[in-house]
Amino acid sequence: MRALWTAATGMRAQQLNIDTIANNLSNVNTTSYKSQRMEFKDLLYVTLKSNNRYDEEDSPTNLEVGHGVLPTATSRNFENGSLIETEGEFDVAIDGSGFFAVRIPNGDIRYTRDGSFKLSAEAGGSRLVTSEGYLVLDENDNQIFIRDGITDIIIDELGYIRGLDENQETVNIARLKLVNFTNPNGLLSTGSNLYSATAASGAEIPIAADQMESRIIQGYLEASNVKIVDEMVKMITAQRAYEINSKTIQTSDDMMQIVNNLKR
C-alpha cells in the first residue's frame, strides 16, 4: 500500500510541474513575462531499522523508506528577456533589474516590468497609464500628467520624461518611479504582468537617479524570457516521470492482486 500512495504523490507533483511548464509556454509572447519553475522536497521517512554500533550486524546506516514528494514553491527566473524595438513613444524597457510602479483602481500599488504605456486623455491633457488603464507613478507616487501642447516626448535612461512646449522649449514632466526588492522571488503574481509586495519580498526599495545601475530604453519592450527548447525538454522529462509513477501504481496493484490470490 505504501508504494501506491508514494507514487500518487509523484503523479500529483508532476501534474503541477506540467501545469507550470504549460503556463510558461503559453506566455512565450507575453511582454516581460518571467518563467516559473516548480520546486519539490521529499516527504517524511519511516525508519525501519536504526544504525547501532552495538548491534551484532554493526550496520553503519539506517534502513528508511520515504513517502514521496511534495511541491513546495514556484520560483521565478528574473533574468532579463531580450529587447524588442517597437519605436513606440511611450514603450520603455528596463535594461537590468527593477520594476515600474502603478496604481490600480482600489488605490493599491503594484509593480511591473511591462513598459507598454499609453496616454489616457482627459481635460487639459493626458495621463500615462498601462494597457489596462492603471496609473503609472512618478518617483513621488503621483500620477504622470502630460498637458496638452507638449510634444516630442523623450524618456531618458534615468527615467526622466521631457517634452517640448508650444515655444519649442524643454519641459520637465516627471521621472518614472523605479523600485527593487530584497527578494524579488517573494513577490506575489496578481495577473496582468503585475506583482504585489509581500513579507517575503520585503518592502519596495526606491531607486534614485544617482543610484541607477539599470537603464531605461525608450522605444523598446522586454520580451518574455521563456526558452522554448528548455521548456519542451522539461515537459518531456515531467511526462516521463508522470508515466513512471503511473506504472508504479499499476505494478503495486498487480502485486496486491498476487498477494490476494495467495490467500485463496
**What residue segments make up the domains of the chain, in order of their start?**
2-78+226-262, 83-222
Instruction: Examine the pLDDT at 199 and tell me if it is beyond 60.
Output: yes
Instruction: Examine the pLDDT at 241 and tell me if it is beyond 60.
Output: yes
Mean pLDDT of the chain: 91
Cell of 36: 516559473
Task: Quickly state the pLDDT bin for 249 (edges 50, 70, 90).
Answer: confident
Phi and psi, residue 119, nearest 5°: -105, 135
For range 40-57, the mean pLDDT: 70
Q: Identify any residues that bridge with 101 across adjacent strands, giving them in sequence order.
A: 111
For 232: left if phi > 0, alpha if psi spans -120 to 50, otherwise beta; the answer is: alpha
pLDDT of 45 reads 74
* Span of 78-92, 141-155, 239-253 with lowest mean pLDDT: 239-253
Q: Whole-angstrom distance between the N-terminal and C-terminal Cα of the chain?
A: 20
Cell of 210: 544617482
pLDDT of 55 reads 55
Contact (CB, 8 A) for 161 and 154: yes
Provide the whole-model pTM.
Answer: 0.85
Contact (CB, 8 A) for 171 and 150: yes
Identify the burial level of 185 via C-beta atoms within 10 angstroms of its C-beta, where 0-12 means exposed, 13-18 middle and 19 or more buried.
Answer: middle
pLDDT of 264 reads 60
pLDDT of 63 reads 73
pLDDT of 56 reads 55
Cell of 38: 516548480
Instruction: Examine the pLDDT at 53 and tell me if it is beyond 60.
Output: no
228-262 and 2-26 helices cross at what angle (nearest 10)? 160
pLDDT of 259 reads 75
Dihedral sign (CA 226, 227, 228, 234): negative
Question: 207-227: per-residue pLDDT in tens?
Answer: 999 999 999 999 999 999 999
pLDDT of 51 reads 64
Instruction: Examine the pLDDT at 200 and tell me if it is beyond 70.
Output: yes
Distance CA 40, CA 27 (A): 23
Return the residue matching grid coordinates 522554448. Answer: 228
Reference 222, options 193, 202, 244; nearest CA is 193
> What percentage of the chain has pLDDT greater than the value 70?
94
